[in-house]
Each structure stands twice: as structure tokens, then as C-alpha cells.
Structure 1
Amino acid sequence: MRQDIEGKITQECVLSPSLQQVNEPHDAKEDPQWDMELMLVRHGTTLWNKERRYLGHTDLGLLSGTEQELQPLQEKLQGHSFARIYCSDLMRCRQTLQIILPESTLSVMPPMMEPRLRELHFGEWDGQTYDMLKDVALYRAWIDEPQRITPPGGESWNHFVNRLREFLGSLFARRTALKVQPTESNAEPPSVLIVTHGGVIRQLACMLIPGHDFWSLNPKPGEASRIQLRWAGPHKCIARLLS
């Protein structure tokens, strides 16, 4: 099943606010006309990433020399056009966007800075490591049940999921208003670039792709994941992950 998920799987799904999804099987013989492709990019490496510290809303920039890490993605995106560009408003994502796309592209297609695309807020645990927290009972409980436990001064899991669900709803609303869809059945769908965080990419894939859990994807810094969508309603879509 894991190999099928990481290749191409097409099913109809409801974007549930929780990790549980209500899925309706989609006829695999049908080749849907894709409305949109999401290119989800995780930001480049920061000092806290390197030190394996929790990094949520603390506004750190990229490590010096990250341009080299992001160069392969920069080269892949040369000549690629986007219908829209969204970016977490935190510095590490903004800096990543400025490296992977030329200024000429950003001037023609100004990015939309989106606070809803921020990483989960870890509160008092931001900047801490596993070894620093492993003996804290509440932390151990959070690792086992993050949907039930909220980090002190941090963000609840429901709030995290709901803001991402609202973001997906805004994509549908903009797609409907602009009538964004391919004109031919074999045409590539309009591409939407989203520069964000590892946890956000994992959760969006979990919400969109049936059979995915939070850990099905493990995006590395500067890595892109692609999901194609066909909207069936404000919170309903057919989606597939491209390997």
C-alpha cells in the first residue's frame, strides 16, 4: 500500500478538519481533468534544523550558504510559470522563495504572504530538543497524542489543522472565481507554488491524499512535493501525489 501511495493514487476525498478522512472510491479507469497542481516546497535549512531543535513560529533565517542547498530546485524551476505563489510569512520561507525564483518572476507574479502556512506553534518548547524535553510528562503525552495535548503557550492541533483547511478553501474560492482549469484534457493544470514548512506539507498531504498519515511524507529542506487536484466542491476534491 505504501508503494501505491508514494507513486500515484487517485481517490475522492473530503477535506476533514481532523486526521480522519471520509473517502469515496473513485473509478481508477476515469482520467480526471486536473484543475490545479500544488508544488509544495519546504524552506531551506536553519541553525535550529541543523541542531534538531523544535522550530515553529520563532522567526529564524536560513543558514549561510543555503543557496547551494537550494540550487537544484532553483534549476528545476527555471522557465516554470505559476498561476499563483503563496509563501509562509516567516523569514526562512521568504528567503527560500527569493533564492529559488528570480526577481523577474516575483515582480510579475508577486507572492502572497500567508500566515496560515506557518509551522505548528510549539510555544515554550520552541528551541528545545528531544533530549531537553524527554523527561517532561506533558511532552511525552504530546508525542503520543498531539491531537489531544497542546504545548504550553503553543497551538492546539485542531487550530493548526483548521487554518490549513481554511487555506485550502481559499484556493478553491480563487479557482472558482478565476475559472482556473486546463483548456484541453491532456494539458498541464495551472501550477500553484507554496513555500512553507515540513509539518504543513505533511498535514496537507494527509488531508488531501487518502491513505496518508502525518508521517507518510518526509520532505527535506529545499525539496518539492507535487499534488494534483480536481475540485468537486469547497471542501471536496480528487487528488493524487506525483512521485
Structure 2
Amino acid sequence: MVIALFRHGLTAENERKAYIGWTDAPLSENGREQLYEKGRPVSKYEWISASDLLRAKETAAYWFPEQSLCITSYFREINFGDWEGKTYEQLKELPDYCKWLNAPFAVSATNGESFEAMAERVDTGWDRLIKQSKQSNRIAVVTHGGVIRYLLSKYGVTEKNFWDYIISPGEGIELIWSNKESFRRKERCTLLQEVAFTGKKAGQ
């Protein structure tokens, strides 16, 4: 059983290191060029799910042009509320932001979403993948950095911290279970494997 988690391509907000959660930003010109250079995933997937935010939908449509996409809000990034589109330099003097930096899993962004609420939402999306696994053995999810970190911390081979995982825009990682039953029981996967792409960067 394989679940491939892909992070969407680069956006202008990513380029200037701004917080981007529910802001419906498109891929940047650089992001599009990087995707074209990288090419498409070498592996094939039977079912494709994608966050309903534009950057994820654009990425999924490029990678899987001939497949139907299941678009869902469950795999959105966390909502950064009033901090959307702003950088560390713009926020660093705000008391609420400093509190969040010190305890990001306990403190929410101003008018944003708590980590607990995000996790609950993503867990609901994961339950849908489990149901879909009745028909599919290889599933791809095009989503966001925070979602991928959360899922890897929960289902990765070994127990690691949320921050231990780094996945760049336009990259993917496969979670592989030796059998479907262990996946459906929500056990940790048995293997993590980077996704290879067809372009000149494949395998690098």
C-alpha cells in the first residue's frame, strides 16, 4: 500500500518566506518553471487527491493531466489568520506572534486555525483515503508542507518530531506499508521513499 505525499510547487509567498495558509495563491513563474524542469512523477497512482487551494490544484493538474482529481479542503494548509501573507520581519514585534513561536502546537495564529483543529481536519481526510484503499493500492495526495509534516510525524517509519521533516515545494515522498491491513489500522509505514521525476533532476 502506497500513499505519496506531494508538496505543491513554489508560490510568490514561498519565495519571500511569507506565511501562506488558506490564501488562494497561484504558482509563481519560478514555481511553474521548476515543475516543468523536474517533469512528472515516474511512479503511477490509481487515485489522486488534492487540496482545494489553487497552488495545489495547479500542481496536481500538471503532474496528473489525464487523471481525475478528488479536490478536498481536508488537506489544506493550516490557516494563519491575520498573519497570512506576512513575513517574520513584519510580525516579530507582535506579542501574539512571539507566543506562537514559543508554543506553535498550543497557541493559534490571530484569527487563525489551531494546530489541533488542523490535525483533526487532516485526520478526517486520511480516513477518506482509508476508505478509498478498498479500490486503490497507490494513492497520491497533493497538499502542503504543514500537512505533510504532520502526516509523516504520525505515520512515518519511526517516531520523529514535526519539525524533523523537511519537504521542499514540488517534491514528493511515498509512505509504503507492507500490507493494506496495517495501513487501515493506522500503523506506521514500513518504508519512506522519495518520489523520482521524469525530468533531468530525477534521482538527484
Question: How far apart, CA to CA, are the structure 2 residues paired with 1:238 and 1:54?
Answer: 30
CA RMSD of aligned residues (A): 1.8
Aligned residue-pair number: 190
TM-score by length of 1: 0.73
Larger relative contact order, structure 1 or 2 (CA cutoff 8 Å, min sep 6): 1
Which residue is equivalent to 2:162?
214
Change (3 A) 1:192 1:58: same
Which residue is equivalent to 2:182?
232
AA aligned opposite 1:152: T
- Residues 74 and 99 in structure 1, CA contact (< 8 A), matched pair in contact too: no
Q: Is 1:92 matched with 2:55?
A: yes
TM-score by length of 2: 0.86
Question: How far apart, CA to CA, are the structure 2 residues paired with 1:197 and 1:203?
Answer: 10
Question: How far apart, CA to CA, are the structure 1 residues paired with 2:35 and 2:5?
Answer: 14
Question: How far apart, CA to CA, are the structure 2 residues paired with 1:98 and 1:233?
Answer: 27
Q: Is 1:136 matched with 2:56?
A: no
- Percentage of identical aligned residues: 28
- Residues 74 and 101 in structure 1, CA contact (< 8 A), matched pair in contact too: no
- Residues 155 and 186 in structure 2, CA contact (< 8 A), matched pair in contact too: no
Structure 1 segments of 4 or more deviating over 4 A?
none
Which residue is equivalent to 1:117?
75
Which of the numbers 151, 155, 161 marks the counterpart of 2:119? 161
Question: Which ranges of structure 2 fall in alignment gaps of 5 or more residues?
Answer: 195-204
Aligned-residue offset at 1:221? 1.0
What are the equivalent positions in structure 2 for 1:51-200 lying under 5 Å apart? 51-77=16-42, 80-102=43-65, 105-106=66-67, 110-176=68-134, 178=135, 180=136, 190-200=137-147
Which residue is equivalent to 2:150?
203
Which digits, 9 at most, give the CA deviation of each residue in 1:58-85, with x for residues without a partner? 10101125332013543443xx431210
Which has the larger Rg? 1
Look up the SS of the partner of 2:26 in the other structure.
coil
Which residue is equivalent to 1:3?
none
Aligned-residue offset at 1:216? 1.8
Look up the SS of the partner of 2:133 in the other structure.
helix
* Range that drifts further, 62-71 or 199-208: 62-71
